[in-house]
A = this chain, B = another copy of it.
Amino acid sequence: MARKPQDVTDAELAVLQALWDGGTASARELTLRLYRRLTESNLATVQKLLKRLEDKDCISRNREAWPHVFTAAVGREELIGRRLQTTADALCEGALSPLLTHLVKTRRLSPQDRQALRDLLDELEDEGGRKDS
């Protein structure tokens, strides 16, 4: 057997990062962002990665435009969330709280960090506290 396919592989992630950082672009443009030199195979590689990312619903492809124009369909935060969930599934029976606890306990949090966290909690207290809104 083999391990479950990584949701987004390293090479695919590089493409996503290029989209996040530089915004919507064509395959050609993305190739230039990722590799210095633009060769025929580099471009094909990027096309293939874009195809796979499309299959995974991680990018959207505008087929009206020519050449096609690509946009990230998932954000960094989304991916962070997925990976955290994966870790939680593997090690915490799916619960995210242990990860939170771990980060707070383990990380050397500076007083500033702690204060920022308190502030964040206060915010949640205000908005998230109520059911609606």
Chain A interface (Cβ < 8 Å from any Cβ of B): 3-4, 6, 9-10, 13, 76-77, 79-81, 83-84, 87, 90-92, 96-109, 111, 113-114, 117-118, 120-121, 124-125, 128-129
Contact = CB atoms under 8 A, between A and B. Distances in A.
Contacts of A87: 80, 83-84, 87
Would you call the interface of chain A mostly helix, strand, loop, or mixed? helix
Contacts of A79: 91
Contact of A121 (B80, B98, B118): B118
A87 B91 CA distance: 14
A94 to B, nearest CB: 12
Contacts of A9: 3
